[in-house]
A and B are shown apart, each in its own frame.
Chain A
Amino acid sequence: MECNLIPAPVQWDDATPEMLQKYRLHIGFCRSCRELVLREAPDQLLFSLDDDALPDDFWIGFWDSTRKKMVTGATGAPLPFQVARWTAAIALAVLITFFGSNISDAPFPVKIQDFPQYPVIEDLQSPEARYYILQSDQKEKIVMLFDPGMDL
């Protein structure tokens, strides 16, 4: 430090807020000290980054959009992961409670000949293929096909 009025910038981390303020004021007018800080501990200059005014163009539409969200109560914030996870878990539990109770039985294996109305099943000849049916009432059936040899 050429002028010797302030300690080496790497020692500033241990300075009290008052001393730090003094050092910062000093480098505001002492060019050689500022250059030394820039060389030795540039992080000590981060405080001097200004919040420069952005051009008005940058802010076009910002207030209108903000005001709309103020009125509708939208935050525009993404749903936090924890909230999203719990919401999904609760929604799943509700679905199972309400719709799961209407399903007469758990999925059970069925034979191809039980479903002659499904030509796709009839066409498959794989011995390893398994078929399952979910039947919630007499009218609706969900048929699931598991075939390890199926080429998708």
Chain B
Amino acid sequence: MKYGPRQNLFIFRNKSEADSLDDREIIRICLTEDSQAFEWLVARYRDSVFWTAYRLVLDYEDARDVAQQCFLKVWKSLKEYDEKRSFGGWITKIAANCAIDFLRSRKESQPLSETPLPVESADRNRDIRKIFLRIAPLLAERQRVVLVLREIEEMEIPDIAKMLNCTESTVRNLLSQAKESFRKKVKELFPEYGM
């Protein structure tokens, strides 16, 4: 299905119409250089991109900047997107890469902001969210990155190794160390969950 500029105007007259389109359809419209259509992709993925970035850089403002870099990269690389693959998975990898680049460029790790984000999470996840936010800054950076990419973003070990320019066995070691540290620190800092 092809879209001309006039059809785009019709399609994006309101949000619900854009919501009814799947990612691939919106991407096809974006590829006609319609940056307005890209806004809907940004609106659709900004939260997940932000959280991926935030869990890696651990700073709200930095995560917002990383999210923007991610969308700019996506905009530039849209032609390379393989429609057979999930767009969500593709954009998550780009976000993770941007965050890793950011961490490399950041000379000193900054402390986690004390200001909580105004989000309401489900009761079921409140504990693990609280634990993650407390423990993540205490882990070594590479351990944290591997833990986040594997356990939260559910990326494959070879993909993580490629992102970090290291071997798969290094990633496995880092993951194992990260999990061990995570468990130890939870027992130390959250005795209420202890045996």
Contact = CB atoms under 8 A, between A and B. Distances in A.
Contacts of B104: 80-81
B117 A50 contact: no
A42 B179 CA distance: 9
Interface string A81-92: 100000000000
Interface residues of A, number: 38
Main secondary structure of the interface of B (DSSP, over half): helix
Interface in B136-195: 147-148, 151-152, 154, 176, 178-179, 182-183, 186, 193-195
B109 interface: no
Interface of B: 35, 38-39, 42-43, 46-48, 50-52, 55, 64-65, 67-69, 71-73, 75-76, 98, 101-102, 104-105, 117-122, 124-125, 127-129, 131-132, 147-148, 151-152, 154, 176, 178-179, 182-183, 186, 193-195
Contacts of A38: 127-128, 193
Contact of B186 (A42, A71, A75): A42
A15 B183 CA distance: 19
Given A47-B154, A51-B47, A51-B48, 7 more contacts: A42-B128, A42-B182, A59-B46, A66-B71, A74-B72, A77-B69, A78-B102
A39 interface: yes
A133 B46 CA distance: 59
B42 A49 contact: no
B72 A66 contact: yes
B72 A76 contact: yes
